[in-house]
């Protein structure tokens, strides 16, 4: 097991290197840079090539691409992400500011999704082809079909029209004012969690259906075991593996991928930062965010693989 863990950890290095090369090259292919985004888009009558050249020099954009890449890589090796090209602030500071909100939202959406997905999936499997199953399926398909940002817009409009109320505009940490914090984050968590739960529900239902047809479940039932016990001890543990994979990847996605939902609810999270970094051609910040999300995906995948062995003793890693 230790050998396997070491092998997996080492395998992350070339994967991350590949991601680094890809994002570095892709950003440079796209037209425009941070200096143009800063000085050419405001409709000003006066433009100074001298100023733009000066800014490019300050940011190191006048250096050959290879030099820019090696400088960035050397920084990464020291876990130094550098400065944002747009604000000039340390990238770690920019990310730290938004991380708490994104993490809390991802956790809240995941909890909500799992609270819905697991019982509904089990229920639908147990009551296969009854009205209960159909109702759960319609509910989950609706969740898949409805983009979470659209659901978010509907929620805001409903709150505005019916209750003449909108969520707070500024993030307050949970430990500062829990009520204010929840009043802001509960809505996006519900909107995102619903879509996220739909994926889980469908996966849970199909995995559970498969497991429920297994011989050992039939044997357990024939022995007269209590249904709840069969489900909890035998069926769920086996059916949950694929659900765990899907839900974990969704969780990793939630950390940086809630771009539109964050815009709709005006949340100062990593998704919004990502979009703004790309729109401003903030190379250093975009690169750091991509590396962060890629690392997060790799870690989540790794943890899920390890959890597999813990949940299913038949699985052994060498």
Partner 1 sequence: MKRLARLLAIAAGALLAFTVQAQAPRSGGELVFPVPSEPPSYDGHREETFGLIHPFAPFYNTLLRVDPFDKGGTKPAPSLAESWTVSQDGKTYTFKLRQGVKFHDGSEMTSKDVKASYDKIIFPPAGVGSTRKGQYAVVEKVEAPDPATVVFRLKQTSGSFIASLLSPYNFIYKADILAKDMNWYEKNIMGTGPFTFVEHVKGSHVLGKKNPNYWDKGKPYLDGFRAVFMRESAAQVAAIRGERAQIQFRGFTPKDRDNLKAALGDKITVQESPWDCILLVTINHDKKPFDDKRVRRALTLALDRHEGSKALSQIAIVKAVAGVQVPGTPFATPPAELNKLAGYWTDAEKSRAEAKRLLKEAGVADGFSFTFKNRGIPMPYEPLGVWMIDQWRRVGLNVRQEVIEPAGYFGVIRKGDYEVAMDFQCGYIVEPDLDMYKFLSVDRNPANYGRYKDPVLDDLYDKQSRATSVEERKQLIRTFEKRLLEEEAHYLMTLQWNRIVPHSSKVRGWTITPSHYLNNTLDTVWLAQ
> Which residue's CB is nearer to partner 1, number 107 or number 275?
275
- Token couple for 25: 């090259």
Q: How far is the CB of 171 from partner 1 (least distance, A)?
A: 6
- Token couple for 31: 């037209």
Q: Which residue's entry shows tokens 């819905």?
A: 116
The answer to the question of residue 45 lying near partner 1 (CB under 8 A) is yes
Site for partner 1 in 93-122 (CB under 8 A): 94, 97-98
**Alpha-carbon distance 206 to 78, whole Å?**
46
Query: Which ranges in the chain belong to alpha helices (H)?
Result: 2-29, 34-39, 49-59, 65-77, 91-126, 131-145, 148-158, 178-212, 215-222, 227-229, 236-257, 259-264, 270-279, 283-311
Binding-residue total with partner 1 (CB under 8 A): 50
Positive or negative: CA dihedral 108, 110, 111, 116: positive
- Residue span binding partner 1 (CB under 8 A) among the ranges 19-27, 72-80, 163-171, 198-206: 163-171
From 20, 23, 55, 304, residue interacting with partner 1 (rule: CB under 8 A): 55
From 6, 9, 11, 40, residue interacting with partner 1 (rule: CB under 8 A): 40
The answer to the question of residue 156 lying near partner 1 (CB under 8 A) is yes
> How many CB atoms lie under 10 A from the CB of residue 28?
14
From 165, 176, 224, 314, residue interacting with partner 1 (rule: CB under 8 A): 165
> Which residue's CB is nearer to partner 1, number 250 or number 282?
282
- Residue span binding partner 1 (CB under 8 A) among the ranges 42-50, 108-116, 186-194, 298-306: 42-50
**Alpha-carbon distance 287 to 297, whole Å?**
15
Site for partner 1 in 266-305 (CB under 8 A): 266, 268, 272-273, 276, 279-281
Instruction: Answer whether 188's CB lies under 8 Å from 258's CB.
Output: yes
Site for partner 1 in 17-36 (CB under 8 A): 30-33, 36
Q: How far is the CB of 170 from partner 1 (least distance, A)?
A: 5
Give Cα separations from 209 to 30, 123, 154 (angstroms). 47, 10, 34
**Alpha-carbon distance 205 to 120, whole Å?**
8
Question: Is 158 buried (19+), middle (13-18) or exposed (0-12) by CB count in 10 A?
Answer: exposed
The answer to the question of residue 168 lying near partner 1 (CB under 8 A) is yes
Interface map 58-87 toward partner 1 (x if CB under 8 A)? ----------------------------xx
Q: Let me know the angle formed at the C-alpha of 121 by 120 and 125, rounded to the nearest 5 degrees.
A: 115
Query: Which ranges in 161-177 belong to alpha helices (H)?
Result: none
From 112, 171, 253, 297, residue interacting with partner 1 (rule: CB under 8 A): 171
> Which residue's CB is nearer to partner 1, number 180 or number 210?
180
The answer to the question of residue 154 lying near partner 1 (CB under 8 A) is no
The answer to the question of residue 261 lying near partner 1 (CB under 8 A) is no
Q: How far is the CB of 241 from partner 1 (least distance, A)?
A: 38
Binding residues vs partner 1 (CB under 8 A): 30-33, 36-49, 51, 54-55, 86-89, 94, 97-98, 153, 156, 159-160, 164-166, 168-171, 263-266, 268, 272-273, 276, 279-281
């Amino acid at each position: 097991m230790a050998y396997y863990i070491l092998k997996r950890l080492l395998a992350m290095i070339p994967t991350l290197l590949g991601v680094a090369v890809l994002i570095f090259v892709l950003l440079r292919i796209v037209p425009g840079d941070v200096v143009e985004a800063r000085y050419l888009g405001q409709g000003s009558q006066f433009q100074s090539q001298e100023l733009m050249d000066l800014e490019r020099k300050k940011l190191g954009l006048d250096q050959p691409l290879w030099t820019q890449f090696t400088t960035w890589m050397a920084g990464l090796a020291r876990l130094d992400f550098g400065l944002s090209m747009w604000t000039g602030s340390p990238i770690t500071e920019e990310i730290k500011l938004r991380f708490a909100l994104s993490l809390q939202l991802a956790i809240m959406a995941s909890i909500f999704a799992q609270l819905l997905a697991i019982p509904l999936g089990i229920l639908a499997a147990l009551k296969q082809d009854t009205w209960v199953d159909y109702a759960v399926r319609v509910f989950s398909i609706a969740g898949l079909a409805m983009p979470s940002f659209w659901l978010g817009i509907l929620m805001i409009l409903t709150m505005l029209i019916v209750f003449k109320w909108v969520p707070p505009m500024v993030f307050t940490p949970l430990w500062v004012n829990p009520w204010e914090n929840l009043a802001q984050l509960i809505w996006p968590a519900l909107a995102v969690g619903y879509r996220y739960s739909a994926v889980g529900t469908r996966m849970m239902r199909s995995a559970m259906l498969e497991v429920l047809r297994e011989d050992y479940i039939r044997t357990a039932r024939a022995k007269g075991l209590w249904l709840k016990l069969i489900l909890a001890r035998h069926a769920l543990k086996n059916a949950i593996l694929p659900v765990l994979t899907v839900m974990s990847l969704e969780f990793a996605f939630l950390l940086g991928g809630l771009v539109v939902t964050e815009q709709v609810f005006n949340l100062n999270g990593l998704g919004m930062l990502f979009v703004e970094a790309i729109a401003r051609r903030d190379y250093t910040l975009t690169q750091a965010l991509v590396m962060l999300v890629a690392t997060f995906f790799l870690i989540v995948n790794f943890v899920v693989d390890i959890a597999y062995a813990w949940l299913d003793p038949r699985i052994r890693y060498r």
